[in-house]
Chain A
Amino acid sequence: MKKIFLILTISLVFVFLSGFNEVVASATSNFSISIVSETPVETTVIFRGKAQSRSYVTLLKDAQIVAVTQADPNANFEISLTGLSAGIYSFGLWADDTAGRRTSTYFFNISITEGVTTIISGIFLSPTIAIDQAEVRQGDILNILGQSAPSAQVSVFINSGEEIVKTTGADNDGAWLYKFDTTSVDLGDYSTRVRASKESEISDFSPTASFKVSKKSVKSKKKCPAKGDLNNDCKVNLFDFSIAAYWWKKSLPKKIKKRVDRKLYRDGKINLRDFSVMAYYWTG
Protein backbone atom coordinates (compact mmCIF):
# COMPACT_ATOMS: atom_id res chain seq x y z
CA MET A 1 0.00 0.00 0.00
CA LYS A 2 2.82 2.34 0.99
CA LYS A 3 4.62 1.58 -2.26
CA ILE A 4 1.53 2.31 -4.36
CA PHE A 5 1.10 5.59 -2.51
CA LEU A 6 4.74 6.49 -3.23
CA ILE A 7 4.34 5.72 -6.94
CA LEU A 8 1.18 7.84 -7.15
CA THR A 9 2.82 10.77 -5.35
CA ILE A 10 5.82 10.81 -7.68
CA SER A 11 3.48 10.55 -10.71
CA LEU A 12 1.50 13.55 -9.52
CA VAL A 13 4.69 15.57 -9.01
CA PHE A 14 5.75 14.92 -12.60
CA VAL A 15 2.33 15.78 -13.98
CA PHE A 16 2.26 19.01 -12.00
CA LEU A 17 5.75 20.04 -13.06
CA SER A 18 5.08 19.39 -16.76
CA GLY A 19 2.12 21.76 -16.59
CA PHE A 20 4.18 24.35 -14.68
CA ASN A 21 6.77 24.38 -17.46
CA GLU A 22 4.24 25.84 -19.89
CA VAL A 23 3.26 28.62 -17.48
CA VAL A 24 6.89 29.66 -16.98
CA ALA A 25 7.48 29.71 -20.73
CA SER A 26 4.64 32.15 -21.39
CA ALA A 27 5.62 34.41 -18.48
CA THR A 28 8.99 35.26 -20.02
CA SER A 29 7.49 37.31 -22.91
CA ASN A 30 8.58 40.89 -22.42
CA PHE A 31 5.75 42.78 -24.07
CA SER A 32 2.01 42.71 -23.63
CA ILE A 33 -0.76 42.69 -26.19
CA SER A 34 -4.12 44.24 -25.62
CA ILE A 35 -7.00 44.40 -28.03
CA VAL A 36 -9.36 47.31 -28.10
CA SER A 37 -12.53 46.49 -29.90
CA GLU A 38 -14.54 49.31 -31.34
CA THR A 39 -17.09 48.88 -34.06
CA PRO A 40 -16.29 49.31 -36.83
CA VAL A 41 -12.72 50.62 -37.08
CA GLU A 42 -9.84 50.31 -39.45
CA THR A 43 -7.62 47.40 -38.47
CA THR A 44 -4.77 49.01 -36.57
CA VAL A 45 -1.66 47.92 -34.70
CA ILE A 46 0.07 50.25 -32.25
CA PHE A 47 3.59 49.59 -30.97
CA ARG A 48 4.75 51.31 -27.77
CA GLY A 49 8.04 50.94 -26.01
CA LYS A 50 11.46 52.25 -25.09
CA ALA A 51 14.53 52.61 -27.26
CA GLN A 52 17.20 55.30 -26.70
CA SER A 53 16.75 59.01 -26.20
CA ARG A 54 15.92 60.61 -29.60
CA SER A 55 16.85 57.44 -31.49
CA TYR A 56 15.22 56.55 -34.82
CA VAL A 57 13.06 53.47 -34.47
CA THR A 58 12.40 51.37 -37.59
CA LEU A 59 9.47 48.99 -37.93
CA LEU A 60 9.57 45.95 -40.23
CA LYS A 61 6.40 44.23 -41.37
CA ASP A 62 6.94 40.81 -42.95
CA ALA A 63 10.68 41.53 -43.31
CA GLN A 64 10.31 44.93 -45.04
CA ILE A 65 10.57 48.46 -43.61
CA VAL A 66 7.16 50.11 -43.26
CA ALA A 67 7.66 52.93 -40.75
CA VAL A 68 10.32 55.00 -38.99
CA THR A 69 9.72 57.25 -35.99
CA GLN A 70 11.85 59.16 -33.52
CA ALA A 71 11.80 58.30 -29.82
CA ASP A 72 11.31 61.20 -27.38
CA PRO A 73 13.99 62.45 -24.92
CA ASN A 74 12.80 59.81 -22.44
CA ALA A 75 13.39 57.12 -25.08
CA ASN A 76 9.67 56.37 -25.47
CA PHE A 77 8.28 55.70 -28.93
CA GLU A 78 4.96 54.86 -30.52
CA ILE A 79 4.25 53.63 -34.05
CA SER A 80 0.82 52.99 -35.57
CA LEU A 81 0.00 50.95 -38.63
CA THR A 82 -3.47 51.12 -40.12
CA GLY A 83 -5.33 49.50 -42.97
CA LEU A 84 -3.98 46.00 -42.33
CA SER A 85 -5.73 42.78 -43.29
CA ALA A 86 -6.47 40.18 -40.64
CA GLY A 87 -3.81 37.50 -40.41
CA ILE A 88 -0.46 36.47 -39.03
CA TYR A 89 2.28 39.09 -39.30
CA SER A 90 5.95 39.05 -38.56
CA PHE A 91 7.07 42.40 -37.10
CA GLY A 92 10.56 43.59 -36.33
CA LEU A 93 11.83 46.68 -34.50
CA TRP A 94 15.30 48.18 -34.26
CA ALA A 95 16.69 51.62 -33.49
CA ASP A 96 19.66 53.75 -34.49
CA ASP A 97 20.92 55.88 -31.61
CA THR A 98 22.16 59.45 -31.95
CA ALA A 99 25.67 58.19 -32.80
CA GLY A 100 24.33 55.90 -35.56
CA ARG A 101 24.83 52.69 -33.59
CA ARG A 102 22.13 50.07 -34.02
CA THR A 103 20.23 47.91 -31.54
CA SER A 104 19.53 44.26 -32.19
CA THR A 105 16.34 43.59 -34.14
CA TYR A 106 13.42 42.53 -32.03
CA PHE A 107 11.27 40.13 -34.05
CA PHE A 108 7.89 38.69 -33.11
CA ASN A 109 4.82 37.15 -34.77
CA ILE A 110 1.28 38.16 -33.90
CA SER A 111 -2.17 37.47 -35.22
CA ILE A 112 -4.15 40.59 -36.12
CA THR A 113 -7.95 40.58 -36.01
CA GLU A 114 -9.96 42.60 -38.50
CA GLY A 115 -11.72 45.68 -37.24
CA VAL A 116 -9.88 45.94 -33.94
CA THR A 117 -6.94 47.94 -32.63
CA THR A 118 -4.16 45.75 -31.31
CA ILE A 119 -1.77 47.47 -28.93
CA ILE A 120 1.66 45.98 -28.31
CA SER A 121 3.29 47.70 -25.36
CA GLY A 122 6.17 47.15 -23.00
CA ILE A 123 8.70 46.77 -25.81
CA PHE A 124 12.21 47.54 -24.58
CA LEU A 125 14.76 47.57 -27.38
CA SER A 126 18.30 46.50 -26.59
CA PRO A 127 21.00 49.03 -25.77
CA THR A 128 23.42 49.91 -28.53
CA ILE A 129 27.03 48.88 -28.09
CA ALA A 130 30.43 49.86 -29.43
CA ILE A 131 34.04 49.28 -28.45
CA ASP A 132 36.84 51.74 -29.06
CA GLN A 133 39.39 49.10 -30.06
CA ALA A 134 39.12 45.93 -32.13
CA GLU A 135 42.41 44.81 -30.56
CA VAL A 136 43.46 46.03 -27.12
CA ARG A 137 46.93 45.73 -25.64
CA GLN A 138 46.88 43.58 -22.53
CA GLY A 139 46.86 45.85 -19.52
CA ASP A 140 45.12 48.71 -21.33
CA ILE A 141 41.53 49.81 -20.78
CA LEU A 142 38.90 48.87 -23.36
CA ASN A 143 35.99 51.32 -23.48
CA ILE A 144 32.66 49.53 -23.99
CA LEU A 145 29.94 52.09 -24.56
CA GLY A 146 26.57 52.81 -26.08
CA GLN A 147 23.13 54.16 -25.38
CA SER A 148 20.03 52.88 -23.67
CA ALA A 149 16.99 54.42 -22.00
CA PRO A 150 17.85 57.29 -19.57
CA SER A 151 18.94 56.09 -16.13
CA ALA A 152 18.67 52.42 -17.07
CA GLN A 153 20.95 49.89 -15.41
CA VAL A 154 23.16 48.19 -17.98
CA SER A 155 24.62 44.72 -17.47
CA VAL A 156 27.79 44.05 -19.47
CA PHE A 157 28.57 40.44 -20.35
CA ILE A 158 32.11 39.64 -21.47
CA ASN A 159 32.87 36.16 -22.77
CA SER A 160 35.84 34.07 -23.56
CA GLY A 161 34.90 30.64 -22.37
CA GLU A 162 33.98 31.95 -18.94
CA GLU A 163 31.54 34.81 -18.60
CA ILE A 164 32.29 38.05 -16.72
CA VAL A 165 29.27 40.16 -15.80
CA LYS A 166 29.61 43.78 -14.73
CA THR A 167 27.06 46.54 -14.29
CA THR A 168 27.03 50.21 -15.06
CA GLY A 169 24.39 52.91 -15.25
CA ALA A 170 23.10 54.99 -18.14
CA ASP A 171 23.05 58.75 -17.54
CA ASN A 172 20.11 61.13 -18.03
CA ASP A 173 20.59 60.99 -21.80
CA GLY A 174 20.89 57.19 -21.80
CA ALA A 175 24.65 57.12 -22.53
CA TRP A 176 26.53 54.38 -20.69
CA LEU A 177 30.19 53.44 -20.47
CA TYR A 178 32.09 50.56 -18.96
CA LYS A 179 35.88 50.62 -18.73
CA PHE A 180 37.12 47.05 -19.03
CA ASP A 181 40.57 46.59 -17.47
CA THR A 182 42.43 43.94 -19.45
CA THR A 183 45.28 43.65 -16.93
CA SER A 184 44.09 40.42 -15.41
CA VAL A 185 42.65 38.71 -18.48
CA ASP A 186 44.39 36.27 -20.80
CA LEU A 187 45.40 37.02 -24.36
CA GLY A 188 42.80 35.83 -26.83
CA ASP A 189 39.46 36.49 -28.49
CA TYR A 190 36.57 37.95 -26.53
CA SER A 191 33.02 39.01 -27.18
CA THR A 192 30.76 41.35 -25.30
CA ARG A 193 27.07 42.22 -25.26
CA VAL A 194 24.83 44.15 -22.90
CA ARG A 195 21.30 44.23 -21.60
CA ALA A 196 19.40 47.03 -19.88
CA SER A 197 16.87 47.04 -17.11
CA LYS A 198 14.65 49.86 -15.90
CA GLU A 199 11.95 49.58 -13.28
CA SER A 200 10.60 46.11 -13.89
CA GLU A 201 11.46 45.90 -17.58
CA ILE A 202 14.40 44.08 -19.09
CA SER A 203 15.58 44.63 -22.64
CA ASP A 204 16.82 42.17 -25.22
CA PHE A 205 20.54 41.57 -25.58
CA SER A 206 22.43 44.01 -27.76
CA PRO A 207 24.36 42.90 -30.82
CA THR A 208 27.66 41.25 -29.94
CA ALA A 209 30.93 43.15 -30.26
CA SER A 210 34.11 41.12 -30.65
CA PHE A 211 37.62 42.14 -29.67
CA LYS A 212 41.03 40.64 -29.12
CA VAL A 213 43.37 41.07 -26.16
CA SER A 214 46.87 41.01 -27.61
CA LYS A 215 50.19 42.79 -27.53
CA LYS A 216 49.05 45.69 -29.68
CA SER A 217 46.10 47.97 -30.05
CA VAL A 218 43.99 48.52 -33.14
CA LYS A 219 41.15 51.00 -33.37
CA SER A 220 37.62 49.82 -34.16
CA LYS A 221 36.04 50.46 -37.53
CA LYS A 222 32.36 51.21 -38.21
CA LYS A 223 30.31 48.07 -37.91
CA CYS A 224 28.11 46.76 -40.64
CA PRO A 225 26.24 43.45 -40.23
CA ALA A 226 28.88 40.74 -39.84
CA LYS A 227 27.19 38.53 -42.45
CA GLY A 228 24.44 38.64 -45.04
CA ASP A 229 25.28 42.00 -46.62
CA LEU A 230 25.98 40.77 -50.14
CA ASN A 231 25.82 44.18 -51.84
CA ASN A 232 27.87 46.00 -49.18
CA ASP A 233 25.30 48.65 -48.33
CA CYS A 234 25.51 47.94 -44.59
CA LYS A 235 22.03 46.41 -44.59
CA VAL A 236 20.66 42.89 -44.95
CA ASN A 237 17.39 43.05 -46.84
CA LEU A 238 15.49 42.15 -49.97
CA PHE A 239 18.39 43.30 -52.17
CA ASP A 240 20.71 40.74 -50.62
CA PHE A 241 17.99 38.10 -50.71
CA SER A 242 17.45 38.75 -54.42
CA ILE A 243 21.15 38.38 -55.21
CA ALA A 244 21.28 35.07 -53.33
CA ALA A 245 17.98 33.92 -54.89
CA TYR A 246 19.39 34.62 -58.36
CA TRP A 247 22.12 32.03 -57.67
CA TRP A 248 19.89 29.53 -55.82
CA LYS A 249 20.92 26.05 -56.89
CA LYS A 250 23.17 27.35 -59.68
CA SER A 251 26.89 26.79 -59.86
CA LEU A 252 28.77 29.88 -58.76
CA PRO A 253 31.49 31.67 -60.75
CA LYS A 254 34.75 32.05 -58.78
CA LYS A 255 34.25 35.76 -58.03
CA ILE A 256 30.74 35.21 -56.70
CA LYS A 257 31.84 32.17 -54.71
CA LYS A 258 34.41 34.25 -52.82
CA ARG A 259 31.84 36.90 -51.96
CA VAL A 260 29.21 34.39 -50.90
CA ASP A 261 31.62 32.42 -48.73
CA ARG A 262 32.78 35.59 -47.00
CA LYS A 263 29.30 36.98 -46.41
CA LEU A 264 27.21 33.87 -45.91
CA TYR A 265 27.89 30.18 -45.23
CA ARG A 266 31.33 29.02 -46.24
CA ASP A 267 30.73 26.02 -48.50
CA GLY A 268 31.20 27.36 -52.01
CA LYS A 269 27.53 27.36 -52.96
CA ILE A 270 24.19 29.02 -52.29
CA ASN A 271 21.86 26.74 -50.41
CA LEU A 272 19.51 26.82 -47.47
CA ARG A 273 22.32 27.49 -44.98
CA ASP A 274 23.23 30.74 -46.71
CA PHE A 275 19.68 31.99 -46.50
CA SER A 276 19.45 30.99 -42.84
CA VAL A 277 22.57 33.04 -42.05
CA MET A 278 21.12 35.97 -44.01
CA ALA A 279 17.80 35.74 -42.17
CA TYR A 280 19.61 35.87 -38.81
CA TYR A 281 21.37 39.15 -39.70
CA TRP A 282 18.33 40.68 -41.38
CA THR A 283 17.91 44.43 -40.91
CA GLY A 284 15.24 45.17 -43.51
Chain B
Amino acid sequence: MRISDLKFKLVFSFLFCILFFVFFSGNILAAHLYFKVPENLVGVGQIIPVNVFLDTGGEDINALEIGVDYSRDLLKLKDWSDGNSVVNLWMERPGSDADKLIFSGLIPGGYNGKRGLLVTLNFETLKEGRAGVSLLDSSEMLLSDGAGTPAKLSINDFWFYVKEGASKLESDKKKDSDSPEDFKPEIDRDDSVFDGKYFLIFATQDKDSGVDYYEVKEGEGGFERAESPYLIRNQRKKQEIEVRAVDKDGNERASLISFVPVYPFWNGGIIIAVIMILLLISSGVYIFKKKN
Protein backbone atom coordinates (compact mmCIF):
# COMPACT_ATOMS: atom_id res chain seq x y z
CA MET B 1 0.00 0.00 0.00
CA ARG B 2 1.44 3.40 -0.90
CA ILE B 3 2.07 5.92 1.89
CA SER B 4 -0.24 8.50 0.25
CA ASP B 5 -3.14 5.97 0.21
CA LEU B 6 -2.57 5.15 3.87
CA LYS B 7 -2.53 8.84 4.75
CA PHE B 8 -5.78 9.38 2.85
CA LYS B 9 -7.45 6.50 4.69
CA LEU B 10 -6.31 7.81 8.07
CA VAL B 11 -7.47 11.37 7.37
CA PHE B 12 -10.77 10.13 5.98
CA SER B 13 -11.44 7.85 8.98
CA PHE B 14 -10.62 10.64 11.43
CA LEU B 15 -12.83 13.14 9.64
CA PHE B 16 -15.63 10.59 9.31
CA CYS B 17 -15.59 9.92 13.06
CA ILE B 18 -15.77 13.63 13.87
CA LEU B 19 -18.54 14.31 11.40
CA PHE B 20 -20.49 11.21 12.48
CA PHE B 21 -20.41 12.51 16.04
CA VAL B 22 -21.52 15.99 14.96
CA PHE B 23 -24.33 14.63 12.79
CA PHE B 24 -25.74 12.16 15.27
CA SER B 25 -24.94 14.03 18.49
CA GLY B 26 -28.34 15.73 18.46
CA ASN B 27 -29.97 12.30 18.47
CA ILE B 28 -27.89 10.22 20.87
CA LEU B 29 -26.93 12.90 23.37
CA ALA B 30 -28.50 12.27 26.74
CA ALA B 31 -30.79 14.74 28.41
CA HIS B 32 -28.68 17.26 30.23
CA LEU B 33 -28.98 19.94 32.81
CA TYR B 34 -27.07 23.17 32.43
CA PHE B 35 -26.62 26.39 34.33
CA LYS B 36 -26.76 29.98 33.16
CA VAL B 37 -25.77 33.18 34.94
CA PRO B 38 -26.09 36.81 33.79
CA GLU B 39 -22.32 37.35 34.09
CA ASN B 40 -19.36 35.02 34.50
CA LEU B 41 -17.51 37.53 36.67
CA VAL B 42 -19.20 39.01 39.71
CA GLY B 43 -18.12 40.95 42.74
CA VAL B 44 -18.03 39.87 46.38
CA GLY B 45 -21.22 40.35 48.39
CA GLN B 46 -23.52 40.23 45.41
CA ILE B 47 -26.56 38.08 44.77
CA ILE B 48 -26.17 36.09 41.58
CA PRO B 49 -29.11 34.15 40.11
CA VAL B 50 -28.09 30.76 38.74
CA ASN B 51 -30.75 29.36 36.41
CA VAL B 52 -30.95 25.58 36.11
CA PHE B 53 -32.16 24.55 32.66
CA LEU B 54 -33.15 21.23 31.17
CA ASP B 55 -32.39 20.07 27.64
CA THR B 56 -34.25 16.80 27.21
CA GLY B 57 -32.18 15.65 24.24
CA GLY B 58 -35.33 14.96 22.23
CA GLU B 59 -36.99 12.83 24.91
CA ASP B 60 -40.14 13.46 26.95
CA ILE B 61 -39.20 13.84 30.61
CA ASN B 62 -41.91 13.86 33.29
CA ALA B 63 -40.17 13.43 36.65
CA LEU B 64 -36.87 14.60 38.09
CA GLU B 65 -34.88 14.49 41.28
CA ILE B 66 -31.93 16.84 41.19
CA GLY B 67 -29.14 17.30 43.72
CA VAL B 68 -26.96 20.39 43.46
CA ASP B 69 -23.61 20.95 45.10
CA TYR B 70 -21.75 24.24 45.15
CA SER B 71 -18.59 25.88 46.50
CA ARG B 72 -19.77 26.50 50.02
CA ASP B 73 -16.71 28.56 50.93
CA LEU B 74 -17.50 31.04 48.13
CA LEU B 75 -21.29 30.87 47.86
CA LYS B 76 -24.24 30.94 50.21
CA LEU B 77 -27.71 29.98 48.99
CA LYS B 78 -29.98 32.89 49.91
CA ASP B 79 -33.15 31.98 48.13
CA TRP B 80 -34.60 30.08 45.23
CA SER B 81 -37.52 30.53 42.83
CA ASP B 82 -39.69 28.28 40.67
CA GLY B 83 -41.14 31.18 38.71
CA ASN B 84 -41.88 30.07 35.15
CA SER B 85 -40.58 26.58 35.84
CA VAL B 86 -41.65 23.74 33.56
CA VAL B 87 -42.17 21.69 36.74
CA ASN B 88 -45.88 21.77 37.67
CA LEU B 89 -45.83 19.95 41.00
CA TRP B 90 -43.11 19.58 43.61
CA MET B 91 -42.57 16.53 45.78
CA GLU B 92 -39.63 18.27 47.40
CA ARG B 93 -38.81 21.95 47.01
CA PRO B 94 -35.21 23.22 47.21
CA GLY B 95 -34.25 23.82 50.85
CA SER B 96 -32.06 26.75 51.77
CA ASP B 97 -30.63 25.20 54.89
CA ALA B 98 -30.06 21.58 53.88
CA ASP B 99 -26.57 20.13 53.60
CA LYS B 100 -27.46 18.97 50.13
CA LEU B 101 -29.65 21.01 47.87
CA ILE B 102 -32.16 18.51 46.50
CA PHE B 103 -35.44 19.09 44.72
CA SER B 104 -37.91 16.71 43.11
CA GLY B 105 -40.70 17.60 40.77
CA LEU B 106 -43.31 16.32 38.35
CA ILE B 107 -44.33 17.40 34.86
CA PRO B 108 -47.65 15.67 33.99
CA GLY B 109 -47.67 15.09 30.26
CA GLY B 110 -43.92 15.51 30.10
CA TYR B 111 -41.61 18.20 28.76
CA ASN B 112 -39.58 17.91 25.55
CA GLY B 113 -37.38 20.86 24.71
CA LYS B 114 -33.96 22.43 24.93
CA ARG B 115 -34.51 25.24 27.39
CA GLY B 116 -36.84 24.22 30.19
CA LEU B 117 -36.23 26.33 33.28
CA LEU B 118 -36.38 24.20 36.44
CA VAL B 119 -35.38 26.57 39.24
CA THR B 120 -33.43 29.74 39.84
CA LEU B 121 -30.94 29.53 42.71
CA ASN B 122 -29.92 32.89 44.19
CA PHE B 123 -26.45 32.73 45.71
CA GLU B 124 -24.60 35.38 47.68
CA THR B 125 -20.91 35.57 46.81
CA LEU B 126 -18.76 35.41 49.95
CA LYS B 127 -15.19 35.80 48.77
CA GLU B 128 -12.96 35.79 45.70
CA GLY B 129 -12.29 32.65 43.76
CA ARG B 130 -13.63 30.25 41.19
CA ALA B 131 -17.14 29.30 42.30
CA GLY B 132 -18.45 25.96 41.13
CA VAL B 133 -22.01 24.67 40.84
CA SER B 134 -22.46 21.02 39.96
CA LEU B 135 -25.03 18.26 39.94
CA LEU B 136 -24.80 15.31 42.26
CA ASP B 137 -24.36 11.90 40.63
CA SER B 138 -27.59 10.82 42.31
CA SER B 139 -29.55 13.24 40.09
CA GLU B 140 -32.14 11.44 38.05
CA MET B 141 -34.71 12.11 35.36
CA LEU B 142 -37.39 9.74 34.14
CA LEU B 143 -39.01 9.36 30.74
CA SER B 144 -42.70 9.95 30.16
CA ASP B 145 -43.32 6.36 29.06
CA GLY B 146 -45.55 5.00 31.81
CA ALA B 147 -42.79 2.66 32.98
CA GLY B 148 -40.57 4.92 35.08
CA THR B 149 -37.61 4.44 32.72
CA PRO B 150 -34.57 6.54 33.65
CA ALA B 151 -33.40 8.98 31.00
CA LYS B 152 -29.73 9.06 30.07
CA LEU B 153 -28.47 12.14 31.87
CA SER B 154 -25.24 13.95 31.25
CA ILE B 155 -23.90 16.21 33.95
CA ASN B 156 -21.43 19.05 33.42
CA ASP B 157 -19.83 21.15 36.09
CA PHE B 158 -20.21 24.88 35.88
CA TRP B 159 -17.95 27.69 37.05
CA PHE B 160 -18.01 31.42 37.38
CA TYR B 161 -15.59 33.85 38.96
CA VAL B 162 -15.89 36.06 42.00
CA LYS B 163 -13.54 39.01 42.18
CA GLU B 164 -13.43 42.02 44.45
CA GLY B 165 -14.23 45.16 42.52
CA ALA B 166 -15.93 43.43 39.61
CA SER B 167 -18.80 45.44 38.11
CA LYS B 168 -21.98 45.34 40.12
CA LEU B 169 -24.55 42.96 38.73
CA GLU B 170 -27.42 45.09 37.44
CA SER B 171 -30.71 43.32 37.66
CA ASP B 172 -32.95 43.89 34.63
CA LYS B 173 -35.72 42.05 36.37
CA LYS B 174 -38.64 44.29 37.26
CA LYS B 175 -40.63 43.69 40.43
CA ASP B 176 -43.27 41.02 40.10
CA SER B 177 -46.66 42.74 40.15
CA ASP B 178 -48.77 39.72 39.22
CA SER B 179 -50.42 37.43 41.70
CA PRO B 180 -49.94 33.67 41.51
CA GLU B 181 -52.25 31.83 39.11
CA ASP B 182 -55.85 31.24 40.12
CA PHE B 183 -56.40 27.87 41.79
CA LYS B 184 -59.09 25.74 43.38
CA PRO B 185 -58.39 23.92 46.65
CA GLU B 186 -60.09 20.56 47.16
CA ILE B 187 -61.04 18.53 50.22
CA ASP B 188 -60.73 14.75 50.32
CA ARG B 189 -60.52 11.84 52.70
CA ASP B 190 -58.57 8.62 52.18
CA ASP B 191 -57.71 5.91 54.68
CA SER B 192 -54.06 6.01 53.60
CA VAL B 193 -53.59 9.68 54.50
CA PHE B 194 -53.82 11.23 57.99
CA ASP B 195 -55.59 8.10 59.32
CA GLY B 196 -58.61 8.73 57.14
CA LYS B 197 -59.25 12.29 58.33
CA TYR B 198 -60.27 15.12 56.00
CA PHE B 199 -57.41 16.94 54.32
CA LEU B 200 -57.05 19.89 52.00
CA ILE B 201 -55.03 19.89 48.76
CA PHE B 202 -53.94 22.88 46.74
CA ALA B 203 -51.33 23.82 44.14
CA THR B 204 -50.64 26.77 41.90
CA GLN B 205 -47.81 28.45 39.99
CA ASP B 206 -46.43 31.93 39.74
CA LYS B 207 -45.01 32.83 36.35
CA ASP B 208 -42.66 35.53 37.61
CA SER B 209 -41.03 35.42 41.03
CA GLY B 210 -42.41 31.97 41.95
CA VAL B 211 -44.64 30.80 44.78
CA ASP B 212 -43.03 31.37 48.16
CA TYR B 213 -45.51 29.79 50.55
CA TYR B 214 -49.13 28.96 51.26
CA GLU B 215 -51.32 29.87 54.23
CA VAL B 216 -54.58 28.36 55.43
CA LYS B 217 -57.29 29.95 57.56
CA GLU B 218 -60.00 27.73 59.02
CA GLY B 219 -63.24 29.52 59.87
CA GLU B 220 -62.62 32.46 62.21
CA GLY B 221 -59.04 31.43 62.97
CA GLY B 222 -55.91 33.18 61.71
CA PHE B 223 -53.75 32.36 58.72
CA GLU B 224 -51.06 29.77 59.27
CA ARG B 225 -48.32 28.56 56.97
CA ALA B 226 -49.29 25.27 55.36
CA GLU B 227 -48.27 22.68 52.82
CA SER B 228 -50.41 20.39 50.72
CA PRO B 229 -51.80 17.94 51.77
CA TYR B 230 -52.97 19.87 54.85
CA LEU B 231 -54.78 18.12 57.73
CA ILE B 232 -57.92 20.09 58.58
CA ARG B 233 -57.90 20.89 62.30
CA ASN B 234 -61.62 21.10 62.93
CA GLN B 235 -62.73 17.80 61.49
CA ARG B 236 -66.37 18.06 62.53
CA LYS B 237 -67.10 21.73 62.07
CA LYS B 238 -68.84 23.09 58.97
CA GLN B 239 -66.75 26.12 58.02
CA GLU B 240 -65.23 28.21 55.27
CA ILE B 241 -61.55 27.53 54.66
CA GLU B 242 -59.39 30.07 52.90
CA VAL B 243 -56.11 29.20 51.18
CA ARG B 244 -53.67 31.91 50.22
CA ALA B 245 -50.70 31.54 47.83
CA VAL B 246 -48.00 34.18 48.25
CA ASP B 247 -45.23 34.77 45.75
CA LYS B 248 -41.65 35.87 46.41
CA ASP B 249 -42.55 39.53 45.92
CA GLY B 250 -45.48 39.36 48.32
CA ASN B 251 -48.32 39.19 45.81
CA GLU B 252 -51.20 37.04 46.98
CA ARG B 253 -53.96 34.91 45.48
CA ALA B 254 -56.67 33.58 47.79
CA SER B 255 -59.29 30.92 47.25
CA LEU B 256 -62.22 29.86 49.46
CA ILE B 257 -63.70 26.41 49.92
CA SER B 258 -66.63 25.29 52.05
CA PHE B 259 -65.96 22.36 54.36
CA VAL B 260 -69.04 20.28 55.15
CA PRO B 261 -67.95 17.16 56.97
CA VAL B 262 -70.02 14.06 56.38
CA TYR B 263 -69.75 11.13 58.72
CA PRO B 264 -71.25 7.62 58.49
CA PHE B 265 -74.28 7.10 60.70
CA TRP B 266 -72.31 5.03 63.22
CA ASN B 267 -70.22 8.06 64.00
CA GLY B 268 -71.33 10.96 66.11
CA GLY B 269 -74.67 12.41 67.09
CA ILE B 270 -77.06 10.29 65.07
CA ILE B 271 -76.38 7.14 67.09
CA ILE B 272 -76.98 9.09 70.31
CA ALA B 273 -80.29 10.29 68.90
CA VAL B 274 -81.28 6.72 68.00
CA ILE B 275 -80.44 5.52 71.50
CA MET B 276 -82.46 8.38 73.03
CA ILE B 277 -85.45 7.51 70.85
CA LEU B 278 -85.20 3.84 71.80
CA LEU B 279 -85.01 4.78 75.49
CA LEU B 280 -88.07 7.01 75.13
CA ILE B 281 -90.01 4.26 73.39
CA SER B 282 -88.95 1.71 76.06
CA SER B 283 -89.95 4.10 78.83
CA GLY B 284 -93.27 4.71 77.17
CA VAL B 285 -93.97 0.99 76.79
CA TYR B 286 -93.00 0.35 80.44
CA ILE B 287 -95.25 3.13 81.76
CA PHE B 288 -98.13 1.92 79.62
CA LYS B 289 -97.80 -1.65 80.84
CA LYS B 290 -97.55 -0.54 84.47
CA LYS B 291 -100.73 1.50 84.18
CA ASN B 292 -102.56 -1.50 82.75
Contact = CB atoms under 8 A, between A and B. Distances in A.
A281 B113 CA distance: 21
A274 interface: yes
B208 A87 contact: yes
A88 B207 CA distance: 7
Interface string A85-124: 1111110100000000000010111000000000000000
Contacts of A241: 89, 106
A180 interface: no
Interface in B205-260: 205-208, 228-229
Contacts of B270: none
A239 B16 contact: no
A245 interface: yes
A284 B89 CA distance: 12
A247 B192 CA distance: 9
A83 B180 CA distance: 12
B186 A14 contact: no
A60 B88 CA distance: 12
Given A85-B208, A86-B207, A242 B188 contact: yes
Q: Which of A3, A87, A256 has the most CB atoms of chain B within a 10 A radius of its CB?
A: A87
Contacts of A279: 62-63, 106-110, 144
Contacts of A84: 181
Contacts of A278: 106, 108
A87 B84 contact: yes
- Chain B, interface size category, equals 35 or more
A203 to B, nearest CB: 17
A87 B190 CA distance: 35
Interface stretch (B18-26, B32-40, B159-167, B282-290): B18-26
A259 interface: yes
A239 B62 CA distance: 18
A239 B202 CA distance: 9
A238 B11 contact: no
Given A92-B109, A273-B148, A7 B181 contact: no
B108 A282 contact: yes
Contacts of A68: none
Interface string B95-116: 0000000001011111101001
Given A246-B229, A282-B109, A239 B186 contact: yes
A238 B16 CA distance: 51
Given A17-B23, A265-B148, A277-B146, A242 B109 contact: no
B193 interface: yes
B77 interface: no
B8 A3 contact: yes
A60 B106 CA distance: 15
A63 B208 contact: no
A272 B65 contact: yes
B181 A246 contact: no
A64 interface: yes
A62 interface: yes
Contacts of B88: 62-63, 90
B145 interface: yes
B78 interface: no
Interface residues of A, number: 58
Given A64-B184, A88-B86, A273-B148, A242 B205 contact: no
A21 interface: yes
A90 B62 CA distance: 12
Contacts of B113: 109
A85 B178 contact: yes
Given A14-B19, A241-B89, A246-B192, A272 B26 contact: no
A61 B109 CA distance: 11
Given A272-B63, A272-B140, A107 B109 contact: yes
Given A11-B19, A88-B117, A274 B148 contact: yes
B147 interface: yes
Contacts of B140: 272
B108 A256 contact: no
A212 interface: no
B280 interface: no
21 contacts: A7-B15, A14-B22, A21-B23, A21-B26, A87-B83, A88-B86, A89-B207, A108-B109, A230-B192, A239-B190, A246-B229, A248-B92, A256-B192, A265-B148, A273-B63, A273-B148, A276-B142, A277-B146, A279-B63, A279-B109, A280-B145
Interface of B: 8, 11-12, 15-16, 19-20, 22-23, 26-27, 58, 62-65, 83-86, 88-89, 91-92, 104, 106-111, 113, 116-117, 140, 142-148, 178, 181-184, 186, 188, 190, 192-194, 199, 201, 203-208, 228-229
Interface of A: 3, 6-7, 10-11, 14-15, 17-18, 21-22, 25, 60-64, 83-90, 92, 105, 107-109, 227, 230-231, 238-239, 241-243, 245-248, 255-256, 259, 265, 272-282, 284
The 10 closest A-B pairs by CB, nearest first: A107-B109, A87-B207, A273-B148, A282-B108, A276-B63, A276-B142, A280-B146, A279-B62, A14-B19, A85-B207
